[in-house]
Amino acid sequence: MSRTAAEIRDEILALVRDYSRLAHASHVPASESKVAFVPGKTPIPYAGRVFTGDEVAAAVDSCLDFWLTLGKEGEAFERELSGYLGVKHSILVNSGSSANLIALSLLTSHKLPPQKRVVAGNEVITVAAGFPTTVAPIVQVRAIPVFIDSDVVTGNALVAQLEEAFVEGRTKAVMMAHTLGNPFDIGAVLEFCRRRDLWLIEDNCDSLGSLYSMPVERARRLGIHENSPGIPSDGTHITRYTGTWGDISTQSFYPPHHLTLGEGGAVNIVSRPPLKTYAESFRDWGRDCWCASGKDDTCGKRFSWQLGDLPKGYDHKYIYSHLGYNLKPLDIQAAIGREQLKRLPGFIQARKDNWSRLRRGLGDLEDVFSFSLPTHASGWGPGGFAWDASGCRSDCSWFGFMVSVRDGAPFTNVELAQHLNSMKIGSRMLFGGNLVRQPAFVQLRKDDPSAFRVVGELPGADRLLSCALFLGTYPGLTSQMLDYEIEVIRDFVVQRKG
């Protein structure tokens, strides 16, 4: 008896789940892992893919449709992601780096008011220590990055330098990342941007699920109210996810990040719907048409437009208002993302728990290490964090556990990283460190001394460059792995102290 396509499909997906359970047992969340950990032999990456058969089946299910390019799964994931965050729109792209490029490019649109548009020679304030593709788009749109220093405790921008970086008529935006899941001082940055009428782009690629709280009265002064999208107010504080306070934010779905689509990213439009159309135009070849793939004549006047020097009635599907790109992901990736998004609350909690376990285990090594703190925290103890007097709080969805080797310690961060590597424990420096010392930026300044501007001497960024590294906190780490990391680091310190 012949079987229907639906019956065959069900069988395929059941087999895919069976296969994944056998072939990918080492990639499930730590809470579900049954794979034995062998100290010194089982590698401990600093980050990695965490998934089950549900994601693999979703990918295969999408492949069976063979639509391939962004379609129904993409539309659903964009809707679900924006709903989770509480933003107006999320637009999927093929990477977090592309998301940053689109986020800044859309601010160059001629459809914006002239005083708000970023044009060649305008300046964008950013932070010196971080990942290069937070800054590269500024250069790529022919604007000028202005680097301020980094706080060595939080890894985030030294906000006291914002006013010094500002130049009337030239500064148009602030674009910076929440470092390793730690929100930057959103209160101070947002107040600065409101006062100076600047765009704020939050690079949220390392911080999906992190929260920031602000006293209600302060939030109201910034135009943020209790009924704003996000977490319900408790009456004294307004709490929102990072990536929802500024005008635009970005996400990365590269394997080490909070969710993975293999590759992929998103641009979040926080509260200004017209920006969605500009973002989609730059993502989709620069076209003026906003029809989704496979759809025509959404506007109802496909052959009635007259734009540029084109004849009236020229097909709107082939009218281009921007010099854009093709930066869409595949629908298969979005199908994976929809399953990953269901796991996000558990992933976030695992990252917090893993950070806390490392902090407790290494807490008495403060003679050789200085430990990172959440923004607005003034200290840490067994009972949790102590907080400053600002009334603001950070609740971090940690991307990593950062330590800095103190001056006078009997080893360097490089020596510690080499030892960890020899013991099969993954670690990373704080991305590019002080970016102005990277070869690309050294060459950029040689080619054009005015290509970027630096505020002060950047001692904080230099210290992060020379002293910091971070361990993983991702939800694939088991308690045995974390305890082994703690043991290896403690033994290394004792050995070096002699």
pLDDT (0 to 100) of residue 364? 95
Taking the whole predicted model, whether its pTM rises above 0.75 is answered as yes
Cβ density class 116-135: b for 16+ within 10 Å, e for less: eebeeebbbbbbbbbbebbb
Longest Cα separation, the chain: 82
In a domain, 154, yes or no: yes
Instruction: Identify the domain boundary among 258, 283, 318.
Output: 318
Instruction: Identify the domain boundary among 270, 286, 318.
Output: 318
In a domain, 28, yes or no: no
pLDDT (0 to 100) of residue 225? 81
pLDDT (0 to 100) of residue 166? 98
Task: Work out the angle between the directed axes of helices 331-362 and 53-65 (0-180°, nearest 10).
Answer: 160
d(CA 194, CA 118): 17
In a domain, 151, yes or no: yes
pLDDT (0 to 100) of residue 474? 98
What length is written for the chain?
Answer: 498
Paired tokens of 151? 């706080």
- Is 110 considered catalytic here? no
* 8 A C-beta contact, residue 45 and residue 426: yes
Nearest to 223, CA basis, from 203, 242, 247, 241 = 247
pLDDT (0 to 100) of residue 96? 98
In a domain, 328, yes or no: no
In a domain, 305, yes or no: yes
In a domain, 58, yes or no: no
pLDDT digits (tens, 9 = 90+) for 273-297: 999 999 999 999 999 998 887 788 8
Judge if 308 and 361 occupy the same domain. Answer: no
* 8 A C-beta contact, residue 8 and residue 29: no
Judge if 161 and 219 occupy the same domain. Answer: yes
Judge if 180 and 306 occupy the same domain. Answer: yes
Paired tokens of 221? 């002064």
Provide φ and ψ at 66, rounded to 5°. Answer: 60, 30
Judge if 419 and 368 occupy the same domain. Answer: yes
Judge if 136 and 266 occupy the same domain. Answer: yes
Active site residue: 257, 258, 316, 322, which one? 257
In a domain, 408, yes or no: yes
Judge if 415 and 268 occupy the same domain. Answer: no
Judge if 140 and 280 occupy the same domain. Answer: yes
pLDDT (0 to 100) of residue 187? 98
Digit-by-digit pLDDT tens for the chain (498 residues) are: 789 999 999 999 999 999 999 999 999 999 999 999 999 999 999 999 999 999 999 999 999 999 999 999 999 999 999 999 999 999 999 999 999 999 999 999 999 999 999 999 999 999 999 999 999 999 999 999 999 999 999 999 999 999 999 999 999 999 999 999 999 999 999 999 999 999 999 999 999 999 999 999 999 999 998 766 667 788 899 999 999 999 999 999 999 999 999 999 999 999 999 999 999 999 999 999 988 877 888 889 999 999 999 999 999 999 999 999 999 999 999 999 999 999 999 999 999 999 999 999 999 999 999 999 999 999 999 889 999 999 999 999 999 999 999 999 999 999 999 999 999 999 999 999 999 999 999 999 999 999 999 999 999 999 999 999 999 999 999 999 999 999 999 999 999 998
d(CA 192, CA 347): 33
pLDDT (0 to 100) of residue 230? 67
Provide φ and ψ at 370, rounded to 5°. Answer: -110, 135
pLDDT (0 to 100) of residue 273? 93
Judge if 187 and 270 occupy the same domain. Answer: yes
Task: Report the number of distinct structural domains present in the chain.
Answer: 2
* 8 A C-beta contact, residue 199 and residue 174: yes
pLDDT (0 to 100) of residue 228? 64
Domain of residue 442, residue span? 341-497
Q: What is the CATH number of the domain that holds 408?
A: 3.90.1150.10
Judge if 380 and 476 occupy the same domain. Answer: yes
Judge if 77 and 221 occupy the same domain. Answer: yes
In a domain, 435, yes or no: yes
d(CA 348, CA 304): 49
Judge if 403 and 263 occupy the same domain. Answer: no
